[in-house]
Chains A and B, each alone.
Chain A
């Protein structure tokens, strides 16, 4: 489904990701764990096309998309929820969704479906996204990503910096998405317990390299915690 093969990424002359291989199987969930500065977000940004790797390839459904721009990857079925509850602050919540639904035949149905996943957004649709709370903006960001009918969803720390009650809602929504089928997920997450519950595969990154990997599930918790030294 999604494969990052021998990916090396640099900011200027400084290489920060040193030849990483990550594979997300069809309908599977791969989680990437690691401490701050390990290179997780950089890796995801390369996967969606916001950064161009120095070496290595990004394959989506077997097609080499390394040279494609982000919007071209989105049109091939990839969706991205970036770190930091990002939305278009001057657009209303409704416009944030409509922006992606514009021109899609199934736009209205997909919007309804996404709002069913996060019903708390419905009464807030007329409010500017910049005036929403962090949790509400994150729900909006996930809903917006789902409107493109993705086959591959990439989430970067979706529960970071969000109040605990909303974290639970977001985690449940992500778990329900992974159980639907037809959707592969690449997830970067700090909550190890939740991450391993969702994961079919895990990767631990340290200083720009994969230091451990294996099958997901709660049983792998010990190995992951040992690899992360926590």
Chain B
């Protein structure tokens, strides 16, 4: 029982990390169709933001609370800079976008190496996020519980913004038909920029969360970027609820495989499951229902 709970918890924890990273991609890749390979580096920028803030404020708790919104801002501004300077010129050219953003990701990794050095830097967790909480006799680390809570909160806020606000309606409208949105009086380029800001900002925030459980180093974004794209594709492109289910599903599956196999074998098995699933259901878990193509 303990082993089952332990693996389930590990899966939920990994799923939360994937979800935090994938949420930004739901906007930039899922909704706007931009394959941004530098998304992982926005996450890295968020993690280094936490490191820099901790150099200024000695209290680990205070610096974490400051770093969360600040990393959102840093990630968001990097995203807008990328969108304005490069991606806006490459809409509807996905292969070019992929290559250019991959190049940008390499530049950002090198920049982080030059600024902070190649070895990992230490970001201390606040005291209230150290230690364990026991549930049914199984210890859960509070750091991972914090990430679960952050992921759930981020999903709720993003869903509410998309569903209930004027900005959310504009974002969804531009995604569904850019021309129709423009002729309905919506400045689609401005909406793109805001979407990119939010999506990249979420990646920055995910970076801060990752400092609680992983090392902060220039290549940390690469570790998660492919898995995050898998989450978005398996969940159904552009679907927040699909990303939630896919992130936790993939997280738990990976934890189950990793229980009896090596980490690399577990990864291969996970990829095989996703490939088989997409063969059966290419549109992912959720897709758009329409009476006719519009």
Which residues in A have some Cβ–Cβ distance to B below 8 Å?
48-50, 69-71, 74-75, 79-80, 82, 84-91, 95, 98-100, 102-103, 128-134, 137, 144-145, 148
Contacts and interface: CB of A to CB of B under 8 A. Distances in A.
A87 B183 CA distance: 12
A217 B17 CA distance: 67
B292 interface: yes
Interface string B170-188: 1011001101111111111
Interface residues of B, number: 23
Contacts of B176: 88-91
Nearest to A102: B166
A34 to B, nearest CB: 22
B289 interface: yes
Interface of B: 166, 169-170, 172-173, 176-177, 179-188, 288-292, 294
A87 B292 CA distance: 11
B287 to A, nearest CB: 11
Contact of B173 (A70, A75, A88): A88
B291 A131 contact: yes
B185 A132 contact: no
A128 B172 CA distance: 13
Given A95-B169, A99-B170, A103-B166, 8 more contacts: A70-B182, A71-B185, A74-B185, A85-B294, A91-B169, A91-B172, A102-B170, A137-B294
A71 B183 CA distance: 6
A62 B177 CA distance: 30
Q: Of A85, A88, A103, A134, which is in contact with the most chain B CB atoms at under 10 Å from its CB?
A: A88
Q: Which of B169, B179, B288, B291 has the most CB of A within 10 A?
A: B291
